[in-house]
Amino acid sequence: MPSRTDILARLRENDPARLEEFRKHADDVRRRNVGDDVHLRGLLEISNHCRRSCRYCGLRADNTDLTRYRMTKEEILAGAARAVQFGYGTVVLQSGEDPHITADGMAEVIRAIRSDERTSSLAITLSLGERSEDELAQWRDAGADRYLLRFETSNRRLYRKIHPPRSAEATDRMELLAVLRRLGYEVGTGVMVGIPGQTFDDLADDIETFARLQPDMIGLGPYLPHPETPLGREATTPGEEQPANDELTTRKMLALTRLACPKANIPSTTALATLNPADAYQTGLQWGANVIMPNVTPPNYRALYEIYPHKSDSQESAEEFHDTWIRRITATGRTIGIGRGDSPSYIRRTLMSTEVVQ
Ligand code: SAM
Ligand code: SF4
């Protein structure tokens, strides 16, 4: 794990030779800890309804310009079956914080995926926002394996500014991460890079927070302004204190994350690819990432899941995306991960708790 001084120096590094050395080091740590396999997770965006007002996100409740949709149980099952057809070992069910996704309704969907012989072997990842402990427990009992909930930034003041609490019921993402771990989920979190008002020190805090939490999965991408959001209308210029929301800063954060959490599953994200659709997914894999999340959402819905404009995966069909990816991954000498691709630290934790029980 790099020291604080090292983290800050890496974040501000611009010398091409030293950057390449840094990349190689992170890539080597990735290879030694999680191998050359790239795990593919089929992403299904099941609803774009949201009760929250995050100041950065296009799905926020106040965005009345957006046509809203919610997939039916049958559509979700068909999406999960599509993920299996492509050979993916995981389906990720993601949505806005949609109050019409009820505890019982979601549990029924999870059980249906588990009991259908076409999809029963899939790992099920949920990313449905801040939900109550009872709901999270019910979904875990129904068969969900993993949960993604980014803490977005470790700067608490900035977090409260960009992520206002939901009326009286304030929930804390850090506390929810502890709840998820207690419930036995494989836990994922992450941050955005280059949020207006964020500093290099905040990014260093994010890396130290990852090191302390040792999450099983860590997703990070550049903050991308959406014109229909309050934050998207604020102009910011990167400078001495404000990190850029660009590809290079995101790559540096990926590499530092790999050094802080050698065994975590780390995706090369859609937000990163949106900055450079031609090869950012690929460079993400060369800077420490070992996961790609191909989008299997039906195209008519996918275009409406507009967190930020020009999402890189909003145009290609799932088939095009899949074919391109298999070619690109194998061309770089990496291999396609087979099966669920559980995180090594989660497997170790589960084994240790089984040993204690026996
Ligand atoms: N509603 C759930 C939640 O908030 O956890 C899951 C869906 S939400 C759209 C998934 C992630 O999208 C958020 O955690 C956030 O980091 C990211 N996101 C939202 N708006 C973004 C933006 N303008 N630029 C980059 N990432 C964004
Ligand atoms: Fe809703 Fe998640 Fe977007 Fe916040 S980030 S507005 S919770 S979809």
Q: What is the pLDDT of residue 355?
A: 57
Distance CA 292, CA 40 (A): 5
**HSE, side-chain direction, 13 A CA sphere, residue 60:** 21
Q: Kindly give the distance from the C-alpha atom of residue 21 to the centroid of ligand 1, in angstroms, as a whole number.
A: 31
What DSSP character marks residue 182?
A: H
Nearest ligand to residue 307 Cα = 1
**pLDDT per position in the chain (358 positions), as tens?**
899 999 999 999 999 999 999 999 999 999 999 999 999 999 999 999 999 999 999 999 999 999 999 999 999 999 999 999 999 999 999 999 999 999 999 999 999 999 999 999 999 999 999 999 999 999 999 999 999 999 999 999 999 999 998 876 667 899 999 999 999 999 999 999 999 999 999 999 999 999 999 999 999 999 999 999 999 998 788 888 999 999 999 999 999 999 999 999 999 988 888 888 877 678 899 999 999 999 999 999 999 999 998 876 666 677 877 888 788 888 888 999 988 888 887 777 776 665 554 4
Rounded Cα distance between 94 and 68, Å, is 14
User: What pLDDT does residue 19 have?
Assistant: 98
Architecture of 4-357 per CATH?
Alpha-Beta Barrel (3.20)
Domain ranges of the chain: 4-357
Residues 6 or more apart in contact with residue 275 via CB below 8 angstroms: 222, 224, 246, 247, 250
Ligand 2 geometric centre to CA of 25 (Å): 34
pLDDT score, position 313? 67
CA of 346 from ligand 1 middle (Å) equals 24
Nearest listed ligand to the Cα of residue 150: 1
SS3 144: coil
| Closest ligand to residue 151's CA | 1
Nearest to 106 by CA among 124, 88, 90, 118: 124
Residue 59 Cβ < 6 Å to ligand 2: yes
Ligand 2 mean position to 3 CA, how many Å?
Answer: 33
Q: Work out which ligand 2 atom sits closest to the CA atom of 53.
A: 6
Tell me which residue of 208, 184, 219 sits closest to 349, measured CA to CA.
Answer: 184
Minimum CA distance residue for ligand 2 atom 6: 60
